[in-house]
Each structure stands twice: as C-alpha cells, then as structure tokens.
Homo-oligomer: A and B are copies of this chain.
C-alpha cells in the first residue's frame, strides 16, 4: 500500500473536486490521506496552499497528488508555478477542448453563486427537500398532486433515504408511503394514492436483509422476525404486481443506484432531459 497525500483545491467548496477525485482514486489500491482546501479565492490563500503542499512534499519525500478545480487563472498560475505536487487540472483539461469545439470562450466563473437566494433552481431544490420531509413515511396526504414521485414499500425498504436523495440531488418532490398490515388485509394500496398510480414506484427488499436491518432497530421483535419479514415482502410484492406498479429490489443497491433507476423509469416531467 503506497502512502500518499491527496489535496483537493478549489475556489468554491471543493465538493466537485473531491467527489470526482475519489471516484478516480477508487481505481487504485491505496488509502491516501485527504486534505480539502476549499475557498482558495485570493492570491494569499493560493500561496498558502502552495506552502502547505510543498511542506507535505518535503516531509513525505513523495509528490502529493493535487486535484484542482480552480477556475480563476491567477490562482491556478500561482499553483502551477510554485507547487511541487502532481497537479491535475480538472477544469482546464476539459474546458479548453470544449472552447475550441464550441468556438466560445469560457466565463472563468468561480463555482459560487453570488447570491444563492435569488436562484430559482436552488429555491426549487430547497422546496423539494421540505416537501420530501413533510411527506416522509406517509405523514401527509396533502399536495400529492405536486409530487414528482411517490415511493411505496414495507418499513425499512429504503424509501426515506431515497426520497431525500431524489430531492437533494435532483430537486424532485418525492413523497413516500409505507405499506402496512392494514393495507395487506384490504389487499389494496392506501386509498390516498389511488389517483396517482403513474407516479408511484415500489421498493422491495430480500426478507433476510430486511430482518437484519429491522433487528438493528428492534432486536428480537415480531417486527424484525424473519417469518414476518417474509410475509410482509410477499404481500407487498403481490400488491404491487396486482396494481401494475413498477418496482425494484434495493437489497444490494446504493441510494444513488436506486434513485438513478427510478429516474430512468418514472422520467418525471420536471426533469426535462
């Protein structure tokens, strides 16, 4: 295992640099030390970043890897000239060929909104988060007309984190409803959902995995018992099949994979791409 320090340098939050850098580093059998250096937006801070990187270089005797999304040419030049790390310019590498392709100059706009409170897309995203919270776990039947997606499934099948992720990442209003024993007895979806069949998406899960998850919350309960989980999952799947609802199994999937699959299938109108 090679020891390395990896820096993420940005004029903004550095979250893009770190998300993308982590995806690349996941291709290597190393566990590097991470140093996040956000808001590098003045020459003073850029020089400080250079000193910090060079100090690590000298102490460790190895070039640190530096992922940067610096947009301001002045800050980038300070790094390029002074830094002893391996500089990976994630922006310039792609911005320059796109400039040539489009015949347009790039804006060199730092990835921060000058006033986020006036940004409509941002406002919609916060609204979506509030909507998803208010409609978590069947808390409210109001405004379902405004929902982009309605998730259904047994308790602990993954509805809540998926709803919040859809809101946070894609700005979608995602309600979610638990399927409970009363629904199974009636053999029908909760009646409040009947008008919205097209927006409904089901989550299911392997009963063995469900029993594990529920046992973390309520060990040795009827709720977590494997035979009860088997019964609930079978009833929920039968109900979704009868109602003609699309569904997927969350057993081995991440929130991101579940959300992406739902988007491919539901294609909400507000995401017009």
Contact = CB atoms under 8 A, between A and B. Distances in A.
A228 interface: no
Interface in A97-117: 97-99, 101-104, 106-109, 111-117
A223 interface: no
B129 A101 contact: no
A93 B88 CA distance: 10
B254 A36 contact: no
A139 to B, nearest CB: 12
Contacts of A109: 26-27
A263 B18 CA distance: 14
B165 A104 contact: no
B169 A15 contact: yes
A273 B33 contact: yes
A140 interface: no
Nearest to A104: B28
A60 interface: no
Interface stretch (A63-71, A173-181, A230-238, A239-247): A63-71
Interface in A110-147: 111-117, 122, 126, 129-130, 133, 136
What is the size category of the interface that chain A forms with chain B? 35 or more
A76 to B, nearest CB: 13
Contacts of A26: 107, 109, 111
Count of this chain's copies in the oligomeric assembly: 2
B122 A69 contact: no
Given A29-B107, A39-B261, A113-B252, 5 more contacts: A34-B273, A36-B263, A112-B257, A126-B161, A130-B160
A192 interface: no
Contacts of A190: none
B168 A104 contact: no
A73 to B, nearest CB: 12
Top-5 shortest CB links A-B:
A34-B273, A27-B106, A13-B260, A115-B252, A116-B254
Given A13-B260, A122-B254, A252-B116, A69 B23 contact: yes
A191 interface: no
